[in-house]
Every structure is written in structure tokens, then in C-alpha cells.
Amino acid sequence: MTPMRTAPAVPRPPARWSLLAAALLALLALLFTGGTAAAHDVVTGSDPADGATVATAPTQVSVTFDEEPQPGLATLTVVGPDGAHHEQGQVSTQGDVVSVPVGPLPTAGDYEIGYRIVSSDGHPVTGSISFSLTTPSPATAAAPGTPAAAAPAEPTAPPSPAASSSDDPGGGAPAWVFVVIALVVVAGAVALVLRRRA
């Protein structure tokens, strides 16, 4: 009597490869979500341009971002070489451009445009842009032998020029934290596989 043949068992993939595959998928997911959470609006241009030297005092300054900031939450300041503020009127946001009118600029020298917006991902972004003025506004240019009158300073302080961007204390964790966690997971998976093989 011919013995019955049984179908050969289909080999299952080793457990260690499944574990490594899961760890790699987790690493990719963490890298992707971390990079998305860390993206905030960045400056792509300004008028006057950052570092520019202009002969005519601007009557308005603007800063352009790569994404549209949240409307109604933007602030722009224009501070002269004497520390006085020269922005006037309301800040307006049109698409990705934030602008504010500027009063007469009484002296030549370096001016700083400070900005603070709330980016499209909900995080505040602050920074500054500078330009140099070679000729004061005609309306406030001093007569010979008469010092120019400085514009009155407002009580508010400009954004800190040292920081190009800042996040809320309760904002998302930086992307490198997710990378470290993912690397720890992968290292643990490899160690577990090696221990089982030993």
C-alpha cells in the first residue's frame, strides 16, 4: 500500500526579520511626522530687501513668507538708529505678504524691521530685517545748523533680532527627538535578534 504524501509545510519567515521590518517602518513614520511638525513659515523676501541701502525713505515696509500667516496676528515694527519707532497705522496681511505704513524717517542710518507672525502650523515666528537709509525723509530733514527732531518712542519693544524664529513652549518636539527614539527602537530590535540567535 502506497503511503500518503503530505504537502510540505510552507516555511514561515524568521521572526527576527518581521521585527526588523516593523522597526524600520516605525523609523520612517517618525522621521516623516517629525519633519512635518518642525516646518514653520520662513521669510522669502522683504521690501526693502534685507541688507539693502536705499536713498529714498520708504513709506511702507513689507515681509514675504513662504506660507500665508494667520491673519490678524502679525506685528511689524520699524526702529531707527536712535531707537525710535516709525511704524504707523495697522499691519495688513495679504496672502503671504505682511506690511505696515511707515512715517517720516528723520535720520540717515540703519533701520530694523522687526516681525512677529503666527505661522500656518500655529507656531509664532519672530525675527528682524535691516536696511540702511542714506537720505532722511524731506519733511523731517534738518535745516543747516539745526539738529533733526527724533520721533517719539513707543512703549512697546521690538522683537529680538537675535532669534530668527521661536516656538511656543508647548509646541511639538524637535524632529531629532523622534530620530533618537526610532534609533533606540531599531537598536533594541537588533539586540533582541542577536540574543535569540545566541
23 and 77 fall within a common domain: no
pLDDT at 180: 60
Digit-coded pLDDT (tens) for 147-165: 444 444 444 444 444 344 4
Distance, CA of 83 to CA of 158 (rounded, Å): 10
Sheet containing strand 97-101, strands side by side: 43-47, 60-65, 97-101, 92-94
Cell of 68: 500665508
Q: 150, 84 in Cβ contact below 8 A?
A: yes
The residue with greater pLDDT, 163 or 177, is: 177
> Each residue of 30-41: b (16+ CB within 10 Å) or e?
beeebeebbebb
Which residue range forms the structural domain that includes residue 24?
15-38+174-197
Percent of the chain residues past pLDDT 70, beyond the cut:
51
pTM of the model: 0.54
105 and 192 fall within a common domain: no
Q: Answer whether residue 21 is part of any domain.
A: yes
The residues, ordered by sequence, that sit 6+ positions from 169 with a Cβ below 8 Å of its Cβ are: none
68 and 22 fall within a common domain: no
Average pLDDT over residues 76-104: 95
